[in-house]
Chains A and B, each alone.
Chain A
Amino acid sequence: MPAARRPWNPFRSEAEAYRFLIVVAAYFAAIVVASVVGGRWAGLAVFIVLSAAGAAWLLVRDRPPAPEPQVPVRQTGAAGEKRILVVANETVAGRALHEAILQAIAAEPAEVLVVCPALNSPLRHWTSDEDAARERAQRRLDSSLARLSEAGIEARGEIGDGDPLQAMEDALRTFGASQIVISTHPEGRSNWLERGVVASARERFAVPITHVVVDLEAESAGAPVAERAGDRT
């Protein structure tokens, strides 16, 4: 598998900073030469053309290779035991999700790990202010595990990274899942669906993935809850 190319970053090392210096020197030299030879407008034209070419080069070069490599998953469970990784945040206590888990473990013994990503605002993420997000995620997880327990499901739980894909990858490194269940809000209200988390997970992980849609508003209004968006491997 070819190694993924690292994004260009002149701050990473002295060698890259030096290359950046040479590029900047050449860029400004071209603008100055054009200005001296062809006047102000020629200099401006060279500035625009070189800037556009540089931006295009950066966009093309730094585009991640598609599709992303699948993360190898270790099967660490006992022989014949199903291992289900459930990833959910606000919907972690939804009845539809619990029904889907019950259905998944009905036929054979299973171990269930519920991962609740600690979603955070971008500003708080950049300042590593995660405590409140993790507290909220922990409360939701505790509530969900209590409900699963009432339903007779043996499960354990973890707080995951704020990025759901990263949370799945982290969990898969220690929990060799045979199936992943991702729970989201319905289309239109789900930030994860808008970001393509389910589709990305299917590209990235070599595990059957079930997407469960939980409509918390409908559940609280007493409407039928079970809605499976699709099973795919």
Chain B
Amino acid sequence: MSAHAHADAHGHADHPPVANASSRVNASVLGMFLFIASEVMLFGSFFTAYFFVRVVNGYPWPAKFDPNLGHSFHLPVFVAGLNSAILLTSSATMHWALTSIKRGNRTGLKAGLVLTFLMGATFLGTQIAEYSRIGFAPHDNAFATIFFCLTGLHGAHVFVGLTLLGFATTRAFRGHFSAEHHHGVEIPGIYWHFVDVMWIVVYTTVYIL
């Protein structure tokens, strides 16, 4: 046996040895986790405020008639319910669009994306219209502040989702995407479904319970 040992030629004099990527955390995965964590903290901070206003301090929800302001606080539960149905339906059309392109059906993709975009825009337009007619303002009291913050934060996410859907729809009409390559639709789809999930939580806690 020769008395000789050698290390692999890593050339580690000037830099560390070459990394073995077997179980390294993928940068995009880490980025997605950080994004989700920031979203959880963002919504979590507003829901914490909601919890303290409503549960810890026992503030009436919605707030009662305020003689100083001269108006009462009524939430448009029915209109928001219809809006919720529109948003949930838009998730179904989004799923239809993805299912269609996976089968090579470009017409289904385009129709699904257009319907999703239109329903999302309807949701956002209705929410803005309701803001203008709701009869109270964010600075009136804690209830009003939390209401506008939670629904407004969600509305901002819907706007981002609509922007992503706008890109995907434009690309679909330009002939992009195929049964094998549809990442540009898949990502907005995931985002859109999670916007809907958040709306279910917001609608249930703010409007119904």
B91 touches A21 (CB 8 A): yes
**A32: which of B30, B95, B208 is its contact (CB, 8 Å)?**
B208
Interface residues of A in 53-109 (CB under 8 A from B): 105, 109
Q: What is the number of residues of chain A that contact chain B, defined by CB distance less than 8 Å?
A: 53
A138 touches B12 (CB 8 A): yes
Interface residues of B in 3-44 (CB under 8 A from A): 3-8, 10, 12, 16-17, 19-20, 22-25, 27, 30, 32, 36
Q: In the complex, how many angstroms separate the beta carbon of A161 from the nearest chain B beta carbon?
A: 4
A35 touches B209 (CB 8 A): yes
Interface residues of B in 114-153 (CB under 8 A from A): none
Give the complex CA separation of A130 and B12 in angstroms: 14
Across chains A and B, the number of contacting residue pairs, with CB separation under 8 Å, is 129
A159 touches B10 (CB 8 A): yes
Taking CB as reference atom, which chain A residue is nearest B95?
Answer: A18
Give the complex CA separation of A138 and B19 in angstroms: 12
Contacts A149-B3, A153-B5; A160 near B209 (Cβ below 8 A): no
Q: In the complex, how many angstroms separate the beta carbon of A181 from the nearest chain B beta carbon?
A: 16
B179 contacts chain A at the CB level, 8 A cutoff: no
Q: In the complex, how many angstroms separate the beta carbon of B193 from the nearest chain A beta carbon?
A: 4
Interface residues of A in 120-174 (CB under 8 A from B): 125-128, 130-132, 134-135, 137-138, 141-142, 145-146, 148-150, 152-163, 166-167, 169-170
**B204: which of A32, A154, A162 is its contact (CB, 8 Å)?**
A32
B20 touches A145 (CB 8 A): no
Of A14, A24, A160, the most chain B CB neighbours within 10 A belong to A14
Q: What is the number of residues of chain B that contact chain A, defined by CB distance less than 8 Å?
A: 40
Contacts A11-B190, A32-B208, A152-B3; A21 near B16 (Cβ below 8 A): no
Give the complex CA separation of A20 and B88 in angstroms: 12
B57 contacts chain A at the CB level, 8 A cutoff: no
Q: In the complex, how many angstroms separate the beta carbon of B68 from the nearest chain A beta carbon?
A: 30
B79 contacts chain A at the CB level, 8 A cutoff: no
Give the complex CA separation of A150 and B1 in angstroms: 12
B200 touches A25 (CB 8 A): yes
A24 touches B19 (CB 8 A): no
B98 touches A15 (CB 8 A): yes
Contacts of A150 in B (CB 8 A): 3
Contacts A15-B98, A18-B95, A20-B197; A156 near B5 (Cβ below 8 A): yes
A145 touches B22 (CB 8 A): no
B5 touches A155 (CB 8 A): yes
A135 touches B12 (CB 8 A): yes
A145 touches B27 (CB 8 A): no
B193 touches A18 (CB 8 A): yes
B189 contacts chain A at the CB level, 8 A cutoff: yes
Q: In the complex, how many angstroms separate the beta carbon of A35 from the nearest chain B beta carbon?
A: 6
Contacts of B5 in A (CB 8 A): 145-146, 148-149, 153-157
Give the complex CA separation of A170 and B194 in angstroms: 37
Taking CB as reference atom, which chain A residue is nearest B12?
Answer: A138
The chain A residues found within 8 Å of chain B, CB to CB, are 10-11, 13-15, 17-18, 20-21, 24-25, 28, 31-32, 35, 43, 105, 109, 118, 125-128, 130-132, 134-135, 137-138, 141-142, 145-146, 148-150, 152-163, 166-167, 169-170
8 A-B pairs within 8 Å (CB atoms) are namely A11-B36, A14-B185, A21-B88, A134-B17, A138-B7, A145-B6, A154-B4, A159-B17
